[in-house]
Chains A and B, each alone.
Chain A
Amino acid sequence: DQQVKQNSPSLSVQEGRISILNCDYTNSMFDYFLWYKKYPAEGPTFLISISSIKDKNEDGRFTVFLNKSAKHLSLHIVPSQPGDSAVYFCAAHNQGGKLIFGQGTELSVKP
């Protein structure tokens, strides 16, 4: 039972353009959502988060949008840079204090 889904395993974007990474979830009781960036053979690093009571959170080039009715969130990176190339994981925080991760999307930003 995959409660958090990232249906695109990979995404390729030109440098300077917008990257949009998508995430869907099934449990309406999740109260917080997070995006992590991960390089091979390293642990995830926190990128940005959003509370379930908000619909948008922005931090520099990164913006996360939450659509609760659709149970969908997205991460926008603009402008995309080659250093953004990594695997991005969406995670949902449940009321038990646990993080439920999606499968990840590998972003490749080409110069």
Chain B
Amino acid sequence: GAVVSQHPSRVICKSGTSVKIECRSLDFQATTMFWYRQFPKQSLMLMATSNEGSKATYEQGVEKDKFLINHASLTLSTLTVTSAHPEDSSFYICSARDRRKFSTDTQYFGPGTRLTVL
């Protein structure tokens, strides 16, 4: 089956530093990747949609200058949390849509990255 990886799986950083999270589709090409954030006991909230070779589309209320997204290739998207603060601590999950498939259930999720900002 389709595999999506995320790196790192867990990161702890000091307030004010920037953290980069990578999302890779391992055995398929993804023209579209999505970034979600999940707070404890809450829903997955879509942050942005990332299309290969173009600028990401951010959801309302998500600061694009704080959450930088780069989708430079068909298998890699990165999310950089700039000047992280404790309120950015969360579980970040990416998903990738297989470009060969057009049904709506072909959005494959990564294992997530736990970010803790001290």
Contact = CB atoms under 8 A, between A and B. Distances in A.
B46 A99 contact: yes
B4 A43 contact: yes
B88 to A, nearest CB: 18
A34 to B, nearest CB: 6
Among B44, B49, B95, the one with the most A-chain Cβ atoms within 10 Å of its Cβ is: B44
A98 B46 contact: yes
A9 B41 CA distance: 8
A103 B43 contact: yes
Interface size class of A (residues with CB under 8 A): 20 to 34
Interface in A20-39: 31-32, 34, 36
Nearest to B112: A43
A85 B49 CA distance: 31
A42 B111 contact: yes
Contact of B109 (A2, A44, A93, A100): A44
Interface in B8-57: 9, 32, 34, 36, 41-46, 49
